[in-house]
Copies of this chain bind each other. A is one copy, B any other.
Amino acid sequence: MNVIPPRQGLDGGFVDRLRDLLSDRVADSMALREQHSHGEGVADAGLPDLVVFAERNEEVAAVLELCSRFNVPVVPFGAGSSVEGQVAAIRGGISLDLTGMNAILDVSAESLDCRVQAGVTREQLNHELRAQGLFFTVDPGADATIGGMAATRASGTNAVRYGTMRENVLGLTVVTPDGRIIRTGGRARKSSAGLDLTRLYVGSEGTLGIITEIQLRLQGLPEAVVAATCQFDQFEDAVGTVSAALQSGLRVARIELIDEVQMKACIGYSKLTGFAEKPTLFMEFHGSPNGVSEDLSNMEELALSFGAQDFLKAERPEARTRLWTARHNAYHATKWLCPGKNNMGTDACVPISEFAACIMETKEDILKSGMVAPIVGHVGDGNFHLGIMHDPADAEETARADELAARVSERAIRFGGTCSGEHGIGLHKMRFMEAEHGEALDVMRAIKAALDPLGIMNPGKMLPQGKGV
């Protein structure tokens, strides 16, 4: 390995002590540093001085205590699948890789919960749970680590029915910047005992401490699962169907809207035969056989009343897998559609009552911009994504992509929503925090200052600096 000396400023004594703690699990190869310098998407990179692999809570604590002592920035790293620049080490320091903490510590089928280390991935967990008839519901698409999903308050296709990480994390083990190991929440389904630290750390993007263990709520595998699709000539009819379904309280486990541009990409990339390049809904229903069949027929009736063509059911597992694999590969499909271009992803979420107006205005904006920007969305929550295709070597096009993305964020806030439904803030969305939160930002800053007084935890992320700071 090509050994790069620590950058100027990283104290030699710090590095020596770190190696005393973790010996060869302190890496300074450029390959590892580069790999840990960025997430997915077009996030800026920031090269860490060192990559450190921790395997136990006590090691994380010792590392953080050391970083506090030497004032060294720490950026937690999992699967590296975040998309807003969360893992870039923009001020150097160490990238703390938690993928070695990948043990499933405890599963209780009786309490429908489990405890896992932060580096366990979503697919690893679900593979383990399946044999016990259980599953963990939050599915952001990527095979992210549970620690990363907690840190970014991840969500995904199942959230409309089962909630996001906010609802599905019962408790945490967190290492504070000064190296204390604390436990938040617990295994009880509810508690009124003190401040809700669990929800404070969920979504804190590594800015307050390092999440090392997560107590998760689980669900029993549903007795019956049926997927369904329907296509529309008009985008607004697909949107109308979703709005009406939500307002009528129709029970759906997933409801995804895929516009005609994204469908073209999916059909081509995922060989999704039998579909037209039209706005499409992918849905899934969970429950008892009777319940699912009732939900399906209600949904079919509703979709047809909005002009849907052929409401198709996919009951066999392989038919469902084909649909959801195509959905999960939507990102790769856009790159197939526009060879040589990058996909600048952005997501937003608005109140259901504003969803139709907001997404139609967005659609019009895309058309006016002349960009290729497929829309997909977990629309059951009022959440949608744009993948704005652009040539990263073309500064003008990249700037236009960025402006379009910015308008999506600003529009969502204007419609009473949020600039990020599920990707988090990282670096890229800090500029919208003021518009979305106003003076509440000062409260967030006060909490940050109280819990990370040295400012070593993922510095420069999530919270824009205040005036005069």
Contacts and interface: CB of A to CB of B under 8 A. Distances in A.
Contact of A450 (B181, B447, B462): B447
B442 A180 contact: yes
A393 to B, nearest CB: 30
B203 A425 contact: no
A200 B203 contact: no
A372 to B, nearest CB: 26
Interface stretch (A18-26, A41-49, A70-78, A346-354): A346-354
Contacts of A439: 180-182
As for how many copies of this chain the complex holds, the number is 2
A195 B421 contact: no
A437 interface: yes
Interface string A159-199: 10001101100000000100011111011111111111101
Contacts of A349: 188-191
Nearest to A347: B192
Given A199-B200, A451-B443, A421 B180 contact: no
Nearest to A290: B294
Nearest to A191: B418
Contact of A194 (B181, B192, B437): B437
A383 B152 contact: no
A436 B193 contact: yes
Contacts of A166: 190, 196, 199
Contact of A440 (B184, B352, B382, B429): B184
Contacts of A247: 109-110, 112, 220
Interface of A: 108-113, 152-155, 159, 163-164, 166-167, 176, 180-184, 186-197, 199-200, 202-204, 208, 219-220, 243, 246-249, 288, 290-291, 294, 349-354, 381-383, 412, 416-425, 429, 432-433, 436-444, 446-451, 462-463
Enumerate the 6 nearest inter-chain pairs by beta-carbon distance, A residue then B residue, closest first.
A199-B199, A450-B450, A110-B353, A191-B418, A187-B351, A111-B353
